[in-house]
Amino acid sequence: MSDLSTAIPPAPTKSRVTPLLAMLWRDKLAFVSAIVLVIIVLFALLGPALLSDLATSQNLRGRNSPPFDLAQGWAFVSGGDSLGRPMLARLIVAARSTMLVAAGTVLAAMVVGAVLGLLAGYLGKHVSQAIMRSADVIMSFPSLLIAVIVLYVLGPSIPNMIPVLAITRIPIYLRTTRAEVLEVRQRMFVQAAVVMGASNGRIILRHILPVVAPTLVTIATLDFAFVMLAESSLSFPGIGIQPPDITRGLMVSRGRPYLTTAWWLAFWPGLLIVITTLSLNLLSNWMRVALDPSQRWRLEARSTKDE
């Protein structure tokens, strides 16, 4: 950590990245969150390549072996699962599928929901009605039913799961975006842009989206945890992630029957889900402040405050 603190101090250079890093350094919680997320991403990128053999090798003597016991080797430091596979390796390997499904779903839902919400909020009544009523249709449809139908037809795989899960999350973003756009479009600075002759696209992208975006990002980070668990509910009818692929949500739901005898089966993946979500949330909170000119001073060096 010591070399980091010397590498990042506020050296106001011309580049755009350095002040951003300096602001990140100033918010210690966000800084730690960023590091945690980088580690998780590294797990997701490298884990499967390095540890997938270890994660699938069964050692029946290590079945449900308790954590912090090195008798079975270092991989069992966080315990073994019900088939005697090392939890640590499985947790690391699971990062890839988990992040792929969660990030893919949340991003897809957020982008589609935001675009439709902006259109529904800004363009006329008819567009809005059409979009909102289709959202109502999606919301009234049992999401598990869509999932069952689609995944039985197309086969269970991560690329198929992402759109299925995303569709069920779209209305949340759509409705939030639309509600905010309806309010923001009445603000004077939007009207001022209209008077200057700004096009609809320009008004939406330059004036409305920046106001709405922080809300969306906050919802997205909270949604991350929801999706990680929702994905595991798909494996109940057998259309979720297929073994040997693993996700954290799946590990939680597989560990649930053993909660009284082997708590670590559900605890570790659950803890990782919490940590990931919390990190994302703290980071998004930092981002909201860092990107808002009227709040940014909170993160800027005290020495520049009296410029």
Residues that bind another protein (CB under 8 A): 187-189, 191-199, 202, 206-207, 210-211, 292-294
Cα–Cα dist 90/108, whole Å? 27
Nearest approach, Cβ of residue 29 and another protein (Å):
24
Nearest approach, Cβ of residue 253 and another protein (Å):
43
Handedness of CA 213, 216, 221, 222 (dihedral sign): positive
Nearest approach, Cβ of residue 199 and another protein (Å):
8
CA 131 to chain centre: 25
Nearest approach, Cβ of residue 293 and another protein (Å):
4
Nearest approach, Cβ of residue 206 and another protein (Å):
8
Nearest alpha carbon to residue 203 among 224, 183, 222, 189: 189
Cα–Cα dist 299/291, whole Å? 10
CB of 58 or CB of 191, closer to another protein = 191
CB of 53 or CB of 307, closer to another protein = 307
CB of 50 or CB of 192, closer to another protein = 192
Nearest approach, Cβ of residue 97 and another protein (Å):
37
Cα–Cα dist 281/277, whole Å? 6
Is residue 137 helix, strand or coil?
A: helix
CB of 146 or CB of 194, closer to another protein = 194
CB of 260 or CB of 294, closer to another protein = 294
CB of 3 or CB of 307, closer to another protein = 307
Q: What is the 3-state secondary structure (H, E, C) of 48-109?
A: HHHHHHHHHCCCHHHCCCCCCCHHHCHHHCCCECCCCCEHHHHHHHHHHHHHHHHHHHHHHH
Residue partners of 128: CB distance under 8 A and separation at least 6? 120, 121, 178
First CA to last CA distance, the chain: 30
